[in-house]
A and B are shown apart, each in its own frame.
Chain A
């Protein structure tokens, strides 16, 4: 089958450690030159190269599917890899390849199950290949279908709805409280690593009003530069609580720095407007009793982890449903491709037989000398009927075998029986 000429070689976070992945990773600007080079060296018709933090995968449309190992050689030769990581590479073909790609695009193969970013990354790789002229018709069809399946999985299973990381859990809680986060102000108490991770998540989602208060003023300034944040002196943070909507606290203070009495005053000054307090410090920065004040929603690191764990359990449940959906789509796609290939094969056979028939009739007419137009016409029709009758049975049997038996074998035998000239190559690829 033509699908056997499409091969995937690659490695991912499940197969290879990070030190291998980082060596094999491709910067965007090197992808297309690399793929173009493979046309010469490995018989590549076209390819899509997906390179993210967690995977490097080459989806290659080859003239000869058996040349897949050469792709790994070429991949390794183009990178500075300190040791031979060949053992980490996997190869996929046929249904396994389709299932893999559909799963990758839907986030089912991601480190964070169901995460949506991978969909955009697969799309980016596809568009890069298309614009670089390395996308063949077959790859185009395959990727278009993968996008369709990924969307279907997201919509029908809702796999990405629940948060699975602490920072995403905090972000989701904020969205449950506030309508438009871009108009809200975040106050960061402490400028540590966890604060940075959470702040990055909010910042990337469009939150621009950020205030930082840190005991070491210099650290606060460095943090502020990264996020365009406003810095307030540590002693003034209670005043900043009045004007903030979300507070992320992660100081290294040995005791509580935010108390119930303080927050009762703050809430009066805020005219009881809702306030989300995220305390990710250990020991905790915020007294637990603060959570009992109306209008305050207090979450500590364990609460957030619990939300994330519940989300992960939910996603795992949904992933099983998603996998069933993907399997169904793989089967449908396989049938569609078989149908496409079968139609092309039959069409090719009829054209090939027609060409032989026309050539032979012309030769016979030339040898037979003068015939009336009517006689010529009758001869042509007779030969056409013979050709048609001879081809009818093999075509019917081929259609039956493809449905009832092994399609690949049936098509291969058919190709051996009727050695037609090679089909026209794919229309994509480098001009």
Chain B
């Protein structure tokens, strides 16, 4: 019920975001932001209830992780939305949120065999950092995609301002910020479970399975993008493509969770 209500509000927000992209009316943006905030409040309430009832942070299987990812994306927008200045980002963000939510609805939410690790604070930290990290990567992905679109328009002498996209410089700046922040948070998230194993003497806490391999693959691709950025060995367009590839590699993590 709560999930359906949240999905409805996010779909409404997406509809307003798409209309805003076309018509650029402030009212449409406010309606989009209002539906987004209402959906976020409902989703937060739902996740909290579920957490209290099961005593495990609701992010132990794929549908739950997807819900959490959608939550993180919206939370980050509500946090950074004003700083981002360019409102057109909702045009790209909301379809991603709805896609995440819809996929979560379509996959059966099968309860997982609870492990002792799930009840520890380490697990909460682990999940929170990974989810936040993935959310930040997705923002970096959005801004890199915007960069590539803008770059493409400029190269092909099209009207780059038709959609009112941010400038290349602005897109690159935000893509980098989200990438660096996401990389740090995500790395901390990856290490937190290993750290738990080491501190608690549980050697099997970090076994290299499909999920772990996928997580590390995404980490390496995004690390390469950062390397290219720092050393300026890659031009901004190639860096943007690498970030897009890195963010796309988070799909591997999702597949890894499915097969985990």
Pick from A177, A271, A272: contact of B154, CB below 8 A.
A177
Instruction: Report B-chain residues with C-beta under 8 Å of the C-beta of A267.
Output: 235
Question: Is there a chain A Cβ closer than 8 Å to B170's Cβ?
Answer: yes
Contact B157 A303, beta carbon cutoff 8 Å: yes
A176 to B160, CA, bound (A): 7
Question: Is there a chain B Cβ closer than 8 Å to A394's Cβ?
Answer: no
Pick from B24, B157, B159, B173: contact of A311, CB below 8 A.
B159
Contact A272 B235, beta carbon cutoff 8 Å: yes
**How many residues of chain A get a CB closer than 8 Å to chain B's CBs?**
24
In B138-167, which residues have CB < 8 Å from any A CB?
Answer: 150, 153-155, 157, 159-161, 165-167
Pick from B167, B173, B235: contact of A177, CB below 8 A.
B167
Question: Is there a chain A Cβ closer than 8 Å to B125's Cβ?
Answer: no
Question: Is there a chain B Cβ closer than 8 Å to A178's Cβ?
Answer: yes
Contact A161 B161, beta carbon cutoff 8 Å: yes
Instruction: Report A-chain residues with C-beta under 8 Å of the C-beta of B168.
Output: 176-178, 274
A33 to B94, CA, bound (A): 60
Known contacts A176-B167, A177-B154, A294-B237; A307 and B159 CB within 8 A of each other: yes
Contact A295 B235, beta carbon cutoff 8 Å: yes
Contact A307 B238, beta carbon cutoff 8 Å: no
Question: Is there a chain B Cβ closer than 8 Å to A126's Cβ?
Answer: no
Contact B169 A173, beta carbon cutoff 8 Å: no
Question: Is there a chain A Cβ closer than 8 Å to B232's Cβ?
Answer: yes
Contact B154 A297, beta carbon cutoff 8 Å: yes
Contact A274 B169, beta carbon cutoff 8 Å: yes
Contact B237 A295, beta carbon cutoff 8 Å: yes
> Which range contains the number of B residues in contact with the other chain?
20 to 34
What per-residue 1/0 map shows which CB atoms of A256-294 lie under 8 Å from chain B? 000000000001000110100000000000000001001
Contact B159 A310, beta carbon cutoff 8 Å: yes
Question: B157's closest neighbor in chain A, by CB?
Answer: A303
Instruction: Report B-chain residues with C-beta under 8 Å of the C-beta of A271.
Output: 232
In A154-176, which residues have CB < 8 Å from any B CB?
Answer: 158, 161-162, 172-173, 175-176
A178 to B170, CA, bound (A): 7
A173 to B155, CA, bound (A): 11
Contact B232 A299, beta carbon cutoff 8 Å: no
Question: Is there a chain B Cβ closer than 8 Å to A66's Cβ?
Answer: no
Q: In angstroms, how far is the closest chain A Cβ from the Cβ of B235? A: 4
Question: Is there a chain B Cβ closer than 8 Å to A347's Cβ?
Answer: no
Question: B167's closest neighbor in chain A, by CB?
Answer: A179
Contact B154 A179, beta carbon cutoff 8 Å: no
Question: Is there a chain B Cβ closer than 8 Å to A22's Cβ?
Answer: no
Contact B237 A177, beta carbon cutoff 8 Å: no
Contact B232 A272, beta carbon cutoff 8 Å: yes
Contact A274 B150, beta carbon cutoff 8 Å: no
Question: Is there a chain B Cβ closer than 8 Å to A306's Cβ?
Answer: yes
Pick from A173, A294, A295: contact of B160, CB below 8 A.
A173
A303 to B234, CA, bound (A): 28
In A296-313, which residues have CB < 8 Å from any B CB?
Answer: 297, 299, 303, 306-307, 310-311
Question: Is there a chain A Cβ closer than 8 Å to B236's Cβ?
Answer: yes
A294 to B233, CA, bound (A): 12
Contact A176 B150, beta carbon cutoff 8 Å: yes
Instruction: Report A-chain residues with C-beta under 8 Å of the C-beta of B24.
Output: 158
A89 to B176, CA, bound (A): 60
Pick from B161, B167, B234: contact of A162, CB below 8 A.
B161
Output the residue of B155, B157, B161 with the most chain A CB within 10 A: B157
Output the residue of A158, A172, A274, A303 with the most chain B CB within 10 A: A274
Contact B236 A178, beta carbon cutoff 8 Å: no
Known contacts A173-B160, A306-B157, A307-B157; A178 and B169 CB within 8 A of each other: yes
Q: In angstroms, how far is the closest chain A Cβ from the Cβ of B86? A: 10
What per-residue 1/0 map shows which CB atoms of B234-247 lie under 8 Å from chain A? 11111000000000
Q: In angstroms, how far is the closest chain A Cβ from the Cβ of B260? A: 39
A158 to B232, CA, bound (A): 38
A167 to B155, CA, bound (A): 19
Known contacts A161-B161, A272-B234; A297 and B155 CB within 8 A of each other: yes
Q: In angstroms, how far is the closest chain B Cβ from the Cβ of A49? A: 35
A64 to B234, CA, bound (A): 75
Contact A294 B238, beta carbon cutoff 8 Å: yes
Instruction: Report A-chain residues with C-beta under 8 Å of the C-beta of B159.
Output: 162, 307, 310-311
What per-residue 1/0 map shows which CB atoms of A197-221 lie under 8 Å from chain B? 0000000000000000000000000
Instruction: Report B-chain residues with C-beta under 8 Å of the C-beta of A173.
Output: 154, 160
Question: B238's closest neighbor in chain A, by CB?
Answer: A294
Pick from A295, A306, A311: contact of B236, CB below 8 A.
A295
A272 to B235, CA, bound (A): 5
Q: In angstroms, how far is the closest chain A Cβ from the Cβ of B177? A: 13
Output the residue of B168, B173, B234, B238 with the most chain A CB within 10 A: B168
Output the residue of B150, B167, B232 with the most chain A CB within 10 A: B167
Instruction: Report B-chain residues with C-beta under 8 Å of the C-beta of A177.
Output: 154, 167-169
Instruction: Report B-chain residues with C-beta under 8 Å of the C-beta of A158.
Output: 24
A294 to B147, CA, bound (A): 13
A173 to B154, CA, bound (A): 8
Question: B154's closest neighbor in chain A, by CB?
Answer: A297
Q: Which residues of B contact A (CB under 8 A)?
A: 24, 150, 153-155, 157, 159-161, 165-170, 173, 232, 234-238
Complex A-B: 15 CB contacts under 8 Å? A162-B159, A162-B161, A176-B154, A176-B160, A176-B165, A177-B154, A177-B168, A179-B166, A271-B232, A274-B236, A294-B238, A295-B237, A297-B154, A307-B157, A311-B159
What 13 additional pairs, Cβ within 8 angstroms, besides A179-B170, A274-B236, A294-B238?
Answer: A158-B24, A162-B161, A176-B160, A176-B168, A177-B169, A179-B173, A271-B232, A272-B234, A272-B236, A291-B155, A294-B235, A306-B157, A311-B159
Kindly list the 3 A-B residue pairs having the minimum CB-CB distance in the complex, ordered from nearest.
Answer: A271-B232, A176-B160, A294-B235
